Structure formats: structure tokens, C-alpha cells
Amino acid sequence: MNRAILLFTTMSCFLDQIKVAYVILLGFVVPIGMKWVSLIHGVAESQTFEMLTGSVGVAFILTGLCLGVAGNSAVAGGRGGECLPLLFTRPLTRTEYVLTKWCAIALICGLIAAAQNLVVALLGMAFGEEWTVSLILGQMLERFLDAGILSAAFMLTIFARHWLFQTTAIVAFYVWLIGQTLPPVSVAGPGTVGGDQVSLGATDLLLKASQLIGDIILPTFHVYDAVNAVHFPWGEVLSYVSMTLIYLTFAVAVTNKRDFFYGTN
């Protein structure tokens, strides 16, 4: 772990005021506002609210705030990038560079998403909702886990620098993202014809593709459910850890020495 890279990456996350405003809006204002309105009017929470307070919300935070700091643009850009060599006190390895940036991005996004979940829970408790400490902590830990695997996948996509791989990864990410935001639909039956049948069939295919990507490429681990389960889901843990390690290992392997300024191994 390199302290200079850690500090520089953290600083870079908050240099762009537009990104900061975007994260505040989608990370706090919109979901907390939706929670407030639903509590005041006594209505059920919408799917959009559940989306913004879950793994999709973490993805939005990563995309809006931290994506630019993972790659070369954050290092080579202005407002401090040209001074980065002065921060180093020893040569930097590719592994140290990638892992330090991953830790910084994952922790920042995890903290933002976990803080949002905590505020939502406290707001619900103020209006009489039943929240337990284990449930709140479980949801907050899940946001850190979501940030960990998503940021690792983002790092690999950025450092790969191959247009075909990056295009495929971006398409897969948006298929997963769209599938998480769409409500479930019934498969088109014999009574549905024409354009409606095609539309329902395409939507169902998109949902299945999104679920497949989520199960294989971006597996999640539900902490609260796992703790209270009769049989601990070791398979989910193995899937999550293995995919995160695969992303980080390949990110280190494809990182070029030109991605940072100082001596590397």
C-alpha cells in the first residue's frame, strides 16, 4: 500500500465539483428525499428508491465520482498530477499501484453508500419503522462489498486499454444496470401478438441477461440474509471473492508502466 497514491486518489475524487454535486444528488438528496416523502404520505417505497440504496446506487456513485481517478487521466491531468512524482519516496510496483487505487476508490464509494443507508435507516426509525442494529450494519457492509467488486471491475476495464474488451465490458455493465432498474415482466403468452409480444420478449431477455451477468460477473453477497440463514452461503462468498481477485489480478497484469510516472517493477 502506497500512502502517496492513497492520498492523491482520495484528493482527486473531490477535485471536480460537478462530480461531487452529482454524487450528492444521487447519493443523498434523491434517495433520502424519496424516503422522506414515502414516510410522510404513508406510501410504499418505490423500486427507484430500492435501486438507489442498493448495488445500483453504488454503481452510480462509482461512475459519477471515482471512475476518472482510476486511470491515467487522474494522474496525468492538471491540478496536481504534474506534482505527483514529488510525493514518492521509493519505487512503486504495479501491484502496489493498482491495489492502492482500488482500496481508495472502494473505501470512498463504500463510505458514501453506507452513510446514505445509515441516514435512511435513522429517518425510518424516526417515523416508527422497525430497524435492528444487525440489519443496519448488514446493509452498510453490503455497500462496502458492492463497492469492492464494482471498483475492481472498473479498474480492469480502465487499465486493459483494448477497445474490444472495454466496449464489451461497458455493454455488459449497462445491460446489468438496466436490468436492475426494470420491473419484472411476464413472458409474452399466446394472447399477446405483434409489437407487444416482441417488446415483452425483448424485456424478458434483457432481464435474464442482467441476472446472468449479476450471478457470474458481478456476484453479490447479502450479509444480513447470510448471518440469519440456516446454512451459511459459502458459495456466494467464494463467487464474490474469486471474481474480485480475478479482476484485480488481471488489472495488475495489464497495467502499463506509463500509467504512472515513477519507477516500477
pLDDT tens per residue, range 225-251: 898 888 999 999 999 999 999 999 999
What pLDDT score does 230 carry? 86
Indicate if the pLDDT at residue 27 is higher than 80: yes
What pLDDT score does 198 carry? 73
CA 94 vs. chain centroid, Å, equals 23
Amino acid identity at 248 = L
**DSSP assigned state of 71:** S
Q: Which of 217, 208, 231 is nearest to 170 (CA)?
A: 217
CB 90 within 8 A of CB 263: no
What pLDDT score does 66 carry? 65
Indicate if the pLDDT at residue 71 is higher than 60: no
What pLDDT score does 162 carry? 85
Cell 497514491: give the residue. Answer: 5
Tell me the pLDDT of the chain averaged across its residues.
81
Rg (CA), the chain: 20
**What is the distance between the alpha carbons of residues 57 and 26, in angstroms, rounded to a whole number?**
8
Residue 164's pLDDT band (cuts 50, 70, 90): very high
Q: Supply the pTM of this predicted model.
A: 0.84
Over the stretch 175-217, which tens digit does the pLDDT of each residue have? 998 888 776 654 445 555 566 677 777 788 888 898 899 999 9
Collapse the DSSP code of 84 into the 3-class scheme (helix H, G, I; strand E, B; otherwise coil) and give the result.
helix
Collapse the DSSP code of 233 into the 3-class scheme (helix H, G, I; strand E, B; otherwise coil) and give the result.
coil
Amino acid identity at 263 = G
Could you give the residue ranges of the DSSP H alpha helices within the chain? 3-12, 17-24, 30-41, 47-52, 55-61, 72-76, 94-126, 133-160, 163-181, 194-216, 223-228, 234-254
| Helix axis angle, 94-126 to 234-254, nearest 10° | 140
